[in-house]
A and B are shown apart, each in its own frame.
Chain A
């Protein structure tokens, strides 16, 4: 069982809203997948439609560095 890590914390809660459903995003379970590897993570998700939001700082930071590490595997 992979260890679950939180790469991102929603701070403050409620500042992000799903436009489609009109509800605030909440901390939810999501999964990153790349080159046949999967990583369980917690990200802001819409409790209604399940839209998973990847914030810019996460995409350009941790996600990019993990991508590079996997590419060189």
Chain B
């Protein structure tokens, strides 16, 4: 049997096939972490979505905490804010947007204030002085206090109440009292009744590290000084100040000014490293198809009651982009959006020593490309996982275990089970029928019928090629093997006279189309041209059409299959996620081998779309749906009236391929096939067959073990169970078979297991 070399544990750094830049540009496309529209529009960067969520959950205390992070004086802000967030609320497109400002006001009024900061808080060493009064000094003092600067405010007012009142006459008595309490709770020193003259200012300049002032003070003391609005700074005076009035301008200005203070305090250029400031455009995508148009909760009197605020906040649809998560079982399984998952998978490929914890997720993607279609920005998770696998192979870090069975199956398809012959009577042919390895494995009679039909109705000769197109090794990231398979197929095709390929499987068609100078058609195209054979008929009840991931982006194939189904008289029911948006059955990308759990979830998701029987045009889909217990037909089974029956197990799949080849060789090319008979009798208990299928142990493996036992006599007798247990190392695994010897040349297999570790006796 052919072997594939296992990797060593010493990693040889060969070629890196993945670049950080490529991953970064892909990660950039994922907008899951993008700020929602309301949040992006807010100059203060208030986490509006988080606040509304807390309110909707009835937790006004938490909502207030979120609000206070952006607005140190929430009542003042909620009354003076111009609410740019409300205009950006996506609900405005279907009905009333959320009344965010009114909810904020209710949060500010009714939310329980959390405990004030600890008195043991460490203060920074650099000190700040603020001259003057008004909204800007008020907000700035709070922002600097939050950053732990010792702040002293010098103002002309006689007390705190007058200081707060000077620019907040719009506050009612109750709100004023609340904000005054909040101000008193802050660690800010005040010096009242100051006469802020140039000499007073210069005197203080020596006492404090950072100087700030209201717009009134700065324009009075330094009327000619140039003001940098982005930094809130008069650079020549090193004075942090403001120019505009109004609540929003003051609050936003105070945020910018506090950052300038931070930079100045560290003797750094205030222009640099400021991050994203102010309002921005959100790149988030939100699906509004299920959003319901509702009116705002009307406001009575002074504002929302807590109950009204909760009701209004509940209207928020919590904008998130989860298009891929909704459609992909793989992403849902790992509960990670593709941007994050891609970063982690990239990091996984770069580990030289240590655990590769993302191997399993990387190998669990079905590479089907559905995410790219459903993502508003075309995120291509399949590409990320595919190049990551190739990279793991190229750097010799890819374990063989997850893909070895599939790769050996491919080697079998293109080895023992491979057949390439021109049509009898032709030396070279105009066409070659390439049914695909799964069709030969699952529905050999359908392959025979299709080939007979093509031979009958096409002129110029139709050759036959039974083998694997190379998708398996491509999915496994084994690019060297892919190259070899491509050369092998090209060589065999050239022997047949470079015919036009008629593919029986959309994945084969897609794969073969990448070969140079190769003309590829689907059998569905040929059938539409020739017309369906006589007697072809569809199901007598409505069925769901499952589109193959091999035909994603290939409307011509999808339409051709639907035309055939229509001509067959099939009544197709609509399913969500069909056509280009179709999910994978779980076979693609070798998910079924690398991660059975995810593959089952993928199959279940496909079947959840409809209760009807499924018609597919990929044999792997047909097989997985049938295995999951659903009535499942390949379109060619309907066209040719063949029934592939219940799904074969892994050994039967190999047997079917070999038998198909031998029968065709015997019947068409009159060649005597190889003898496949054993010279002893070997039976299996049904449980043994089930276990073998589950553990991916082939009858060929069992036969090799029994052969070895018959040759060497090496076995263990377990007196408890009465079973003989023999073993043989085949390739990279050791297979153990539990059996009984019923007669001289007759055995019954009761079970089998395998391990990849090699075991040997140790001396000393």
Closest chain A residue to B721 by CB distance?
Answer: A15
Q: Bits for B237-257, please: 1 = Cβ < 8 Å to A, else 0.
A: 000000000000000000000
- Chain A residues contacting B712 (CB-CB under 8 Å) are 20
- Chain A residues contacting B757 (CB-CB under 8 Å) are 32-34, 63, 66-67
Q: Is the CB of B759 within 8 A of A43?
A: yes
B673 at the interface (CB under 8 A from A): no
- Asked, given contacts A54-B736, A59-B754, whether A31 binds B720 with beta carbons under 8 Å apart, the answer is no
CA distance A65 to B738 in the complex (A): 22
- Chain A residues contacting B734 (CB-CB under 8 Å) are 54
Q: Is the CB of A52 within 8 A of B755?
A: no
CA distance A50 to B736 in the complex (A): 17
Interface stretch (choices B351-359, B525-533, B534-542): B351-359
Q: Is the CB of A59 within 8 A of B716?
A: no
Q: Bits for B720-764, please: 1 = Cβ < 8 Å to A, else 0.
A: 100011010000001010100000000000010111111111111
A3 at the interface (CB under 8 A from B): no
Tell me how far the C-beta of B64 lies from the nearest C-beta in chain A, rounded to whole angstroms.
46
Tell me how far the C-beta of B426 lies from the nearest C-beta in chain A, rounded to whole angstroms.
49
B8 at the interface (CB under 8 A from A): yes
Closest chain B residue to A31 by CB distance?
Answer: B762
User: Pick the contact of B756 from A15, A25, A34, A69 — CB < 8 Å?
Assistant: A34
Q: Is the CB of B9 within 8 A of A72?
A: no
- Chain A residues contacting B754 (CB-CB under 8 Å) are 59
Closest chain A residue to B357 by CB distance?
Answer: A72
- Chain B residues contacting A69 (CB-CB under 8 Å) are 355
- Asked, given contacts A72-B359, A73-B356, whether A52 binds B760 with beta carbons under 8 Å apart, the answer is yes
Q: Is the CB of A73 within 8 A of B714?
A: no
B719 at the interface (CB under 8 A from A): yes
- Asked, given contacts A20-B713, A20-B714, A59-B753, whether A15 binds B758 with beta carbons under 8 Å apart, the answer is no
Tell me how far the C-beta of B301 lies from the nearest C-beta in chain A, rounded to whole angstroms.
64
Q: In residues 439-488 of chain B, which contact A (Cβ within 8 Å)? A: none
Tell me how far the C-beta of B246 lies from the nearest C-beta in chain A, rounded to whole angstroms.
58
User: Pick the contact of B716 from A16, A29, A36 — CB < 8 Å?
Assistant: A16
CA distance A33 to B677 in the complex (A): 35
Q: Is the CB of B755 within 8 A of A36?
A: no
Tell me how far the C-beta of B375 lies from the nearest C-beta in chain A, rounded to whole angstroms.
29
CA distance A44 to B725 in the complex (A): 13
- Chain A residues contacting B755 (CB-CB under 8 Å) are 54, 59, 63-64, 67
Q: Bits for B628-650, please: 1 = Cβ < 8 Å to A, else 0.
A: 00000000000000000000000
CA distance A16 to B725 in the complex (A): 10
Closest chain B residue to A59 by CB distance?
Answer: B755
- Asked, given contacts A29-B762, A35-B6, A35-B7, whether A19 binds B756 with beta carbons under 8 Å apart, the answer is no
Tell me how far the C-beta of A17 lies from the nearest C-beta in chain B, rounded to whole angstroms.
5
Q: Which of B359, B724, B758, B761 has the most CB of A within 10 A?
A: B761
- Asked, given contacts A32-B759, A72-B356, whether A51 binds B719 with beta carbons under 8 Å apart, the answer is no
Q: How large is the interface on A (under 10, 10 to 19, 20 to 34, 35 or more residues)?
A: 35 or more
Q: Is the CB of B401 within 8 A of A36?
A: no
Q: Is the CB of A59 within 8 A of B736?
A: yes
Q: Is the CB of B399 within 8 A of A71?
A: yes
B183 at the interface (CB under 8 A from A): no
Q: Bits for B335-363, please: 1 = Cβ < 8 Å to A, else 0.
A: 00000000000000000001111011000
- Asked, given contacts A17-B719, A51-B714, whether A32 binds B758 with beta carbons under 8 Å apart, the answer is yes
Q: Bits for B376-408, please: 1 = Cβ < 8 Å to A, else 0.
A: 000000000000000000000001011000000
Q: Which of B357, B753, B754, B759 has the most CB of A within 10 A?
A: B759
Q: Is the CB of B751 within 8 A of A16?
A: no
Closest chain A residue to B399 by CB distance?
Answer: A71
- Asked, given contacts A30-B759, A53-B716, A67-B401, whether A60 binds B724 with beta carbons under 8 Å apart, the answer is no
Closest chain B residue to A40 by CB distance?
Answer: B762
CA distance A35 to B759 in the complex (A): 12
- Asked, given contacts A35-B8, A36-B9, A67-B755, whether A16 binds B761 with beta carbons under 8 Å apart, the answer is no
A45 at the interface (CB under 8 A from B): yes
- Chain A residues contacting B758 (CB-CB under 8 Å) are 32-34
- Chain A residues contacting B762 (CB-CB under 8 Å) are 29-31, 40
CA distance A21 to B202 in the complex (A): 105
Q: Which of B9, B360, B720 has the most CB of A within 10 A?
A: B9
Q: Is the CB of A54 within 8 A of B401?
A: no
Q: Which of A29, A43, A50, A71 has the most CB of B within 10 A?
A: A71
- Chain A residues contacting B715 (CB-CB under 8 Å) are 19-20
Closest chain A residue to B8 by CB distance?
Answer: A36
Q: Is the CB of B760 within 8 A of A19?
A: no
Tell me how far the C-beta of A33 lies from the nearest C-beta in chain B, rounded to whole angstroms.
5
Tell me how far the C-beta of A1 lies from the nearest C-beta in chain B, rounded to whole angstroms.
12
Q: Is the CB of B761 within 8 A of A50?
A: yes
- Chain B residues contacting A20 (CB-CB under 8 Å) are 712-715
- Chain A residues contacting B719 (CB-CB under 8 Å) are 15-17
B206 at the interface (CB under 8 A from A): no
- Chain A residues contacting B751 (CB-CB under 8 Å) are 56
Tell me how far the C-beta of B110 lies from the nearest C-beta in chain A, rounded to whole angstroms.
52
Q: Which of B9, B716, B738 has the most CB of A within 10 A?
A: B716
- Chain A residues contacting B753 (CB-CB under 8 Å) are 56, 59-60
- Chain A residues contacting B760 (CB-CB under 8 Å) are 30-31, 33, 52
- Chain A residues contacting B517 (CB-CB under 8 Å) are none
CA distance A15 to B720 in the complex (A): 7
CA distance A41 to B757 in the complex (A): 13
CA distance A37 to B6 in the complex (A): 13
CA distance A45 to B763 in the complex (A): 12
B717 at the interface (CB under 8 A from A): yes
- Chain A residues contacting B9 (CB-CB under 8 Å) are 35-37, 70, 73
B122 at the interface (CB under 8 A from A): no
Q: Is the CB of A29 within 8 A of B736?
A: no
- Chain B residues contacting A19 (CB-CB under 8 Å) are 713-717, 724
B667 at the interface (CB under 8 A from A): no
- Chain A residues contacting B763 (CB-CB under 8 Å) are 29
Tell me how far the C-beta of A49 lies from the nearest C-beta in chain B, rounded to whole angstroms.
7
Q: In residues 6-26 of chain B, which contact A (Cβ within 8 Å)? A: 6-10
B672 at the interface (CB under 8 A from A): no
CA distance A72 to B141 in the complex (A): 54
CA distance A69 to B402 in the complex (A): 13
Tell me how far the C-beta of A59 lies from the nearest C-beta in chain B, rounded to whole angstroms.
4
Tell me how far the C-beta of A53 lies from the nearest C-beta in chain B, rounded to whole angstroms.
5
B290 at the interface (CB under 8 A from A): no
Q: Is the CB of A25 within 8 A of B761?
A: no
B172 at the interface (CB under 8 A from A): no
B174 at the interface (CB under 8 A from A): no
B269 at the interface (CB under 8 A from A): no
- Chain A residues contacting B714 (CB-CB under 8 Å) are 19-20, 49, 51
Q: Is the CB of A29 within 8 A of B356?
A: no
Q: Is the CB of A16 within 8 A of B399?
A: no
- Chain A residues contacting B736 (CB-CB under 8 Å) are 54, 56, 59
Question: A36-B8, A56-B751 provided; 16 other pairs, C-beta below 8 A?
Answer: A15-B718, A17-B719, A19-B713, A19-B715, A25-B716, A30-B759, A33-B758, A34-B756, A52-B760, A53-B725, A54-B759, A59-B736, A59-B754, A59-B755, A72-B357, A73-B356
Query: 8 A-B Cβ contacts within 8 A?
Result: A30-B759, A31-B759, A33-B760, A34-B758, A45-B761, A54-B734, A59-B753, A66-B757
| In the complex, the 8 A-B pairs of residues with the closest C-beta atoms, listed nearest first | A71-B399, A36-B9, A31-B762, A34-B757, A59-B755, A29-B762, A19-B715, A35-B9
